Amino acid sequence: MKFKAIIFDMDGTLIDSLGVWAESDRIFLKELGYEYTPSVSEAMKTMHYVSACEYLRNFYNINMSTEEIGARIMDIVKDRYVHNVPLKEGVYDFMLKQQAAGVKMCVATSNDKSLAEAALKSLKVYDMLEFVITSDEVGCGKESPLIFEKAAEMLGAKPENTAVFEDSVHAAQSAYKAGFYTVGVYEENFSGEFEKLKSCTHRTVEGFKELL
């Protein structure tokens, strides 16, 4: 694959981090004396961070503000992102190869920017990227292609010569419909959606080693 630019999703695509959020929910709820309910993490997995905290507050009737819940969970998550979350297999070598070929790369994420940058720096790939852009910065989630379009503009590339790597169906659909070459990356937490991911991407891969 030869492209002028690549836009990577982060969680579940570059880094093996999706389990961290469910773990942080469990830790947070245990601190408050609540019993963890797995269906809650399932419901929140495609939500924006603030919406997920609001959902958690309402579901358990927690006597804290959404902001207080978010701050505490973020503390738990950040510790794990910096110390426990690994890159997915083959990611570092793939990015190194693209960098050597002069391909410009960035991360477009729905995650918190400071958290994303801390994780990517810890994993020694941040310096390969031109920038990190977030849904908060563009004002909408990945159900809209705006974050991909803005990222491509900042990279000096057009959709047709830019690849987008995504693990989630709704984000991949947005990029695909906007004219980006879209690569679906297998993520175990979304394994039941992998067949659907194949229908809205130009190519799917089980992992980055396939691309080396």
CATH of domain 18-83: 1.10.150
| 108-155 confidence digits (pLDDT tens) | 999 889 999 999 999 999 999 999 999 999 999 899 999 999 999 999
In the chain, ranges of CATH 3.40.50.1000 domains: 5-16+86-211
Give the whole-angstrom CA distance, residue 49 versus residue 114.
13
Backbone angles phi, psi at 78, to 5 degrees: -60, -40
| 43-67 confidence digits (pLDDT tens) | 877 677 788 899 999 999 999 999 9
Sequence-distant (6+) residues with CB within 8 A of 172 are: 164, 166, 182, 184, 197, 200, 201
- What's the angle, vertex CA 172, arms to CA 211 and CA 170, rounded to 5? 145
CA nearest 43: which of 62, 56, 32, 26? 56
Question: What is the dihedral angle through the alpha carbons of 177, 166, 125, 19, rounded to the nearest 10 degrees?
Answer: 150
pTM assigned to the model:
0.85
Average pLDDT over residues 27-35: 92
Average pLDDT over residues 3-23: 92
Give the whole-angstrom CA distance, residue 37 versus residue 136.
28
Give the whole-angstrom CA distance, residue 53 versus residue 127.
31
Contact 64, 57 (CB under 8 A): yes
Alpha helices in 33-168 (DSSP H): 38-44, 49-60, 66-83, 91-100, 113-122, 135-138, 146-155
In CATH, the architecture of 5-16+86-211 is: 3-Layer(aba) Sandwich (3.40)
For residue 28, what is the enclosing H or E element?
helix 18-32
Q: What is the mean pLDDT of the chain?
A: 92
In the chain, ranges of CATH 1.10.150 domains: 18-83
